[in-house]
Each structure stands twice: as structure tokens, then as C-alpha cells.
Amino acid sequence: MARIGVFICHCGENISATVDCGKVAEVTSRLPGVAYSTDYKYMCSDPGQTKIKDAIREFHLTGVVVAACSPRMHEPTFRKACAEAGLNPYLCEMSNLREHCSWVHPKGDVTTEKAIDLVRTLVEKVKKNESLMPIKVPVTKTALVIGGGVAGIQAALDIANCGHKVIMVERDPSIGGHMSQLSETFPTLDCSQCILTPRMVEVAQHPNITLYSYSEVESVEGFIGNFKVKIRKKAKCVDEKDCTGCGLCTTLCPQKKIPSEFEQGLGFRPAIYVPFPQAVPNKPVIDKPNCTYFQKGKCRICEIKCPTKAIRFDQQDEILEVEIGAIVLATGFNILKTDFFPEYGYGKFKDVIDGLQFERLASASGPTLGEIRRPSDGKVPEKIVFVACAGSRDPAKGIPYCSKICCMYTAKHAMLYKHKVHEGNAYVFYMDIRAGGKMYEEFVRRAIEEDHAHYIRGRVSRIYEKNGKLIVKGADTLLNSMPVEIEADMVVLATAGVANDGAEELAQKFHVSYDGYKFFAEAHPKLRPVETNTAGIFLAGACQAPKDIPDSVAMASGAASKVAALFSNDELTREPLIAEVNRCAPPLFSTCTGCFLCQLVCPYNAIEREQITDRSGKLIKELAKINPGLCQGCGTCVALCKSKSIDIHGYTNAQVHTEVLALLNEYA
């Protein structure tokens, strides 16, 4: 006979303001099988938990229903309390009165009725709960960091410094990411390369870090603590061991006019190239689609001239298989290109550039060696217009969010321009100035007050070319929307930060969720900002949302500490709420028909084939079998199985059925 305890929480006033908690406790105490029922102001508090523990001992409870907040918040709390009182934790269930009832309904009898129904349903379920034991799985203490930007670098270094092995995978020939392209950084105006390159070198030299540049993740299998990842090392056509990085090949390559990705198309590179002088690793790669030898079958100059004979034209992509315990996604972001904006010339005006292109113009290592010269004719612009919120905060463009970094970098751009072109005029069109951050507001004020950047509050409606000038039409909303027209020499659009190319495919590969803008989704916007909903996969940097360098670095350290915490145990404890294929007496062995349609549907590849043989080894039957280490308990296979041969512990068919009947007031 079941002896269920029911505990109704007021949650301060969150529940009791609209639900009569006393009445819920009183009515539910008369339900069949309920041995004890009470209400209390805060069940999650220490006295509240003590109430539960005492009741378990005093009334010899066989199950507990706590009607309170979301189980996502306090289920572990109450299950632990039950375990301390000697009750199997999985005999305790939570009814979500707060989110499912009190918060969404007005005060009234009907609301209390609903609360009673919710509790009653769960009482019936708990009667059918079974004692379950947690599953232990081993942990592979190697982390995989995907993306070698500043976030990836920080995460990798932090994990490696905790003494764990790290594998870093970078899509491009060098690590460094967008930060390596920047000229100076706000709010201190220190050189980006100067602060980043020591970290890049540290990654290369760290004994615990293995760097695979020019590589991509091919596939991911497994689960927290036990991922199996295939990495595709794209053929660089250069033997990394033999190459000394002397760079002779890059100077001799006959292809010289390939737009450089690193220079944002403002400079050129050869077909065999190192993206930038401080690249890590500082070994060139051959860009096959642009290489004369690969396209025409003749040339091989680099191979002939290489002093160490390191060129390997026949090198093939290599697939590495690695075992990984935790994954940090740090794949970064991208910005919209100028061709996104019809009103600003669809990208056909050479002197309308984006923020990253301006960074390259201002950078001492850039195509103009740090002089601000406009791309069309190399002239130093006398009037320059910066347009903030180009795309951002514009629902009509599909980007209603704020890209966060543009206000600050636009102020920086205006400053850098004024520092280099003293007599020049810088105009900034802005919607609002968002300068929340340490020393940020002061930085923007400096641009306006000391460097005399002209800030105009208003948006730019149109840009067009006339007599070699760019006519920028806008309005000044602080002067009663007075039309403003500026004849500029160059325009810099602070284009919106967007999800990186291939973010959606990557998210699907890793089974992490993503938002409508294809930024990866964190598990909880406030309390679990670096975790994903997939256990063992963490987020760092701008792949989650646009963010600046300090935020990216902080998030990376946060993700690293999560990984380090995971690696601090030799074994992981996992919830036993997993699916199982039924077994029964011969000759049936199981009602499973072995159709294996479930095998395809399982998102975690947790379903295997099990062969049942007789004593002589002859095959009698082939059945589906669920690997308890891999199963995440999503229940997709349960829904698909036509013969109802799979059940999920904690949410069995019998439990769900009895809950439905209880709601319909029919007791089985």
C-alpha cells in the first residue's frame, strides 16, 4: 500500500497569492494513498526540507510529492533531502504549481482546483515510481576547444593550466580570430596584436595543448565525458615538420592578386600563404582553388625553391579520431558585409567599408601600413562618416538585437582617425550610445570632447556617389529631425554582428540548440550562461551572442572552469532516467521485432543491435538494445516504437497513463 507525502510550498507569495495552499494540502490529504499532507511558506528552506525528512521517518512514506516551483530549480534539492531521510531520491517528484498554475492564473477557486488536479495527478504517478540507482560513467580528461579566437585561446590555456589535455581545432590556417585583425582595442587603445600574440604563442608552446589548424570537426558521437570526435585535417600541401616557416615560397608564388581574407579584401596574398606575419602556426598553406599547379598542372615553383623540400602537392585530407571528455564551442561571429545594404549602395561604392575593413586600414600591419587611405584612390579622407547600427536594432532588416560592440568601436575608429588625420572631420551617426562597461562611457566622451568627433543622433537614409564624393543623407533627431547632408570621402558602416558561417550546421553536428539568429543557445540566460543544453558542451565568446573582448575572455574562463570541475572527478554520475527495451521469457525474449527503425531516430546513437543465440551459438533473434551510457532519456524511440517495446525509467507508459487517467478522474 502506497504511503505518499504531499508538501505544498507557498513560495513566499509566488504561489499562495493566487492558490489557497492550505486547501490544496487539506484536499490532497484525503486522496487514496496519501499518508501525510502539509503546506509551508518555503519548502526549499532548511526547516522546509526538515519537514519532509521528518515526515518520511515518522509516516514511513513510500513516495513524496513536492508541489512548488519548476523541477529545473529545486528537484535536486528535494531529491537529496529525501535521500538523506532514507528514501530513494527517484521516489520524489515535483509538481510545478508556480509556473504551471499560480503565475499564469488569477486568484480564485478555479486556480486552487487546478492546483489540486496537478498534485492529484502526480500523487498517482508517484505511486508507480520505482527506486532507481544513478549510472556511473568514466571521464576522458581531454577537452576539445573549437575555434582559435581570443575566447578559444583563453579557454584552452585555462584548461591546460589546470593540468588537463586540450585539443584545439581552428578552421583557418592560423589561430587569432577576429581579434588578430583589430588595430587597437577599446577602452585603452592598446595594440590588439601586442596583447594577443603572446597568448597565441603560449598556445603553440603549451605542453598540454595540441593545435590542429586548418582543420574542422567532421562528426561527434558519444556523450559527456565520453565523446568520440572525428577531426578533418585539411591538406595544407606543406609538411609541417620539414617547413621552417622561412616564407621564401610566399614571395616566389606567381599568384599575387588573391584578395586576402585577413585584410578583408583590402590587400592581396599569394596562393601559398601565411595569413599574417605573427600567425600561429607560422607555416604556410596552399590555397588549392587559386594555385596555378592545382588548376593548370604546371608551376611547382614553391616546391623547386623550398630550401627544406617541405612542399607536398599529393598531401590528402587526414581524418583523426580523438576521445574527448568535454567540448568548448568558441566559433565566434561574423559581421554583415556592406553589400547587405541597398540604401548604402549594395557594396558597389569602394569607399563605403565595414568596421573590420577600417581596422585593417588603421592597423600598422595592414595594407596601408596604418595610414588611413581610402580604398578607391588611396587618398587620405578629409571627411569621414561612421554609421552606427548598420543593420543592428532594425527589425525590418531581421536584426532587432543590439550588436553590442559597435558603439564602442565606432568611437575608437573616430578617435584613431583623428589621431592620424589631425585636420580631418569625423562624423558619427548613432541611435543611442551604449557604453556600459568599465571606462567605456569615459572613452566615448573622450572621442567627443577631446578628439572632437561630431556625433549626430539620427539614422542615415541614403548614401550615393556624386563628383567623387559620397553624399550621406541623414537626419539630426536632436534638432527636430533636421535633414543633414554630408559630402564625405569615406563611410564606415558599423555593420551588425551575426552568427558565423556554418553555425547552424555546427550546432546540429553537436546537438546544441541555437536561437533564431543562429547564435548558440545557453542552458539558462542568467544562471547557466556558459553551458548548453547538451551536457559536456560549453560555450565561450561571440558564438553565443555578439560580445567584446573582455566579455569573451571572461566567458571563456567561465567555460574552462566548468570543464575543470567536470574533470576533477574520475567518474560522472548520470541520471538513470533512460530508455530500456523490454525482455520477456523465451521464445519471444522481447516484444521488440528488431525492425531497428528506432536506431535511426535516436539522436545520440545510443541504440545497438543485440543478438540472442542458443547454446550452440545459432542466432535466434536480433533485438534493439539501448546503451545506458549514451541514452539521454529523450524518449524519441519510445514514441516511435510501434510494438511499445521500449519504456523510459521515470516516465514509463504506466506512469504517464495513470497520470492521464487521474486528470480524467478515472482511477485505474
Partner 1 sequence: MLEIKQKARELLESGKAQVVIGYGKGPNNTTRAIFVRKPEDADKLVLDDTCVQNLALYIYKHEVRHFGKEAVVATLPVLRSLLQLASENQVKDNEIIAIAITPDNKVVELDSFAAIEEHVRLFNTGLTEDEKDLLKKINAMGLEERWAFWNKEFSKCIKCYACRQSCPMCYCPRCAAEVNQPQWIPVAAHQHGNIEWHIMRAMHLAGRCINCGDCARACPVDIPLNLLTYNLIEELNNEFKYTAGLSASQTYVLSTWKLEDKETFIR
Q: Which residues sit opposite 326 in a β-bridge?
A: 143
Q: Which of 117, 218, 451, 622 binds partner 1 (CB under 8 A)?
A: 622
**Closest to partner 1 by CB, 417 or 604:** 604
Q: Are 292 and 271 in contact (CB under 8 A)?
A: yes
Residues 571-610 that bind partner 1 (CB under 8 A): 588, 591, 593-598, 600-601
Sign of the Cα pseudo-torsion (656, 662, 666, 668, in order) = positive
CB of 598 to partner 1, least distance (A): 7
**Closest to partner 1 by CB, 560 or 623:** 623
3-state SS, residue 469: strand
Instruction: Report the residue count for the chain.
Output: 668
Eight-class DSSP state of 519: P
Q: Are 305 and 249 in contact (CB under 8 A)?
A: yes
**Closest to partner 1 by CB, 457 or 511:** 511
Q: Which of 305, 452, 524, 644 binds partner 1 (CB under 8 A)?
A: 644
Binding residues for partner 1, how many (CB under 8 A)? Answer: 22
Residue 658 touches partner 1, criterion: CB under 8 A? yes
CB of 521 to partner 1, least distance (A): 17
- Full 3-state SS string of 375-404: CCCCCCCCEEEEEEEECCCEHHHCECCCCC
CB of 218 to partner 1, least distance (A): 16
Q: Are 376 and 490 in contact (CB under 8 A)?
A: no
Q: How many CB atoms lie within 10 A of CB 205?
A: 9
Eight-class DSSP state of 183: S
Which residue type sits at 105? H
Residues 478-537 that bind partner 1 (CB under 8 A): 505, 508
Residues 360-389 that bind partner 1 (CB under 8 A): none
Residue 477 touches partner 1, criterion: CB under 8 A? no
| Stretch touching partner 1 by CB under 8 A, among 217-225, 364-372, 549-557, 640-648 | 640-648
CB of 595 to partner 1, least distance (A): 4
**Closest to partner 1 by CB, 104 or 620:** 620
Nearest to 71 by CA among 106, 34, 97: 97
Q: Which of 198, 525, 642, 667 binds partner 1 (CB under 8 A)?
A: 642
With residues binned 3-state (H G I as helix, E B as strand, rest as coil), the percentages for the chain, rounded to 5, are 30, 25, 45
End-to-end CA distance of the chain: 15
| Stretch touching partner 1 by CB under 8 A, among 25-33, 275-283, 461-469, 642-650 | 642-650
Q: Where does 253-335 have alpha helices with state H?
A: 292-296, 301-305
Residue 634 touches partner 1, criterion: CB under 8 A? no
CB of 163 to partner 1, least distance (A): 40
**Closest to partner 1 by CB, 396 or 619:** 619
**Closest to partner 1 by CB, 493 or 506:** 506
Q: Categorise residue 125: left if φ over 0, alpha if ψ from -120 to 50, beta otherwise.
A: alpha
For helices 46-59 and 71-84, give the axis angle rounded to 10 degrees. 50
Distance of CA 226 to the CA centre of its chain: 20
CB of 664 to partner 1, least distance (A): 12
Output the nine-digit C-alpha cell for 645: 517495446
CB of 123 to partner 1, least distance (A): 17
**Closest to partner 1 by CB, 278 or 582:** 582
Nearest to 663 by CA among 100, 102, 108, 2: 100
| Stretch touching partner 1 by CB under 8 A, among 3-11, 369-377, 541-549, 654-662 | 654-662
CB of 543 to partner 1, least distance (A): 20
Q: Please state whether the peptide bond connecting residue 381 to the residue before it is cis, i.e. omega within 30 degrees of 0.
A: no
- How far apart CA 414 and CA 351 sit, in angstroms, is 16
Eight-class DSSP state of 178: G
CB of 147 to partner 1, least distance (A): 22
3-state SS, residue 84: helix
**Closest to partner 1 by CB, 365 or 655:** 655
Q: Which of 251, 382, 653, 663 binds partner 1 (CB under 8 A)?
A: 653
CB of 660 to partner 1, least distance (A): 9
- How far apart CA 414 and CA 436 sit, in angstroms, is 19
CB of 71 to partner 1, least distance (A): 23
CB burial of 35-70 (b: ≥16 within 10 Å; e: otherwise) equals bbbbbbeebbeeebbebbbebbeeeebbbbbbbbbe
| Stretch touching partner 1 by CB under 8 A, among 366-374, 375-383, 403-411, 652-660 | 652-660
**Closest to partner 1 by CB, 167 or 646:** 646
CB of 597 to partner 1, least distance (A): 5
- How far apart CA 44 and CA 558 sit, in angstroms, is 27
**Closest to partner 1 by CB, 250 or 593:** 593
CB of 90 to partner 1, least distance (A): 20
> Which residues of the shown chain bind partner 1 in the complex (CB under 8 A)?
505, 508, 588, 591, 593-598, 600-601, 622, 640, 642-644, 653-654, 657-658, 668
